[in-house]
Amino acid sequence: MKGVINKGIKEMLEQQYGHEQWEAVRKHAGCGDIFFSSLTDYPDHLTIRLFMSAGEILCLPVETVMIEFGKFWITETGRKTYPQIFHLAGKNARGFLLNMDRIHEQVTHGIPHAAPPRFEYDEMPDGSLAMHYFGRREMIPMLKGLVLGVGMYFNEELEVEEIPAMKENAACTVLVKFRQKA
């Protein structure tokens, strides 16, 4: 997985819990890297170990760490690493999410070993958006956090609910509900 993900884990832990806690998580995960280059490909198991280790050191369920990571990545690491893409990818949360399939393909195009997540979409009769998530990594809590982060970025209140995959071979489907903030 691209270093921009591991970089986000490091930045979140340093910002929210301090450098010492990040160091504890890094060592507990057996991670020798003290910084991550955004475009370099790191093994998926390293990213998984960092999430698990953060859960153990901070005494939090790993799902919680991954959801918080998703929110942080959108509003901090991702936004700062890809300012141009964030600027162009959509005027609101729905438009931005609808562009995510294309964006993931573009940002990993030509990078060896990249296996970006892919998305298919269905507009539901109640106005919610069904996002069907395809990807070998099946990082579902992270997906939910990233969706919530998009809501934070656009200052919109989103609800995200995981339901069993509506499409063959999808890891899951998430239903995204859009509410106007009062």
Which residues of the chain form contacts with ligand HEM (CB under 6 A)? 1-2, 4-5, 78, 82, 85-86, 89, 97, 100, 103-104, 107-108, 114-117, 135, 137, 139, 142-143, 146-147, 150
CB 149 within 8 A of CB 66: no
Give the residue with the Cβ less far from ligand HEM, 89 or 165: 89
Give the residue with the Cβ less far from ligand HEM, 24 or 142: 142
Give me the residue label for tokens 């990818």: 89
Give the residue with the Cβ less far from ligand HEM, 2 or 132: 2
From the CB of 59, what's the least distance to ligand HEM, in Å?
25
- Please give the distance of CA 4 from its chain centroid, rounded to a whole number: 11
Cβ neighbours of residue 139 closer than 8 Å, sequence gap 6 or more? 66, 117
Pick from 129, 80, 134: nearest CA to 105: 134
From the CB of 32, what's the least distance to ligand HEM, in Å?
20
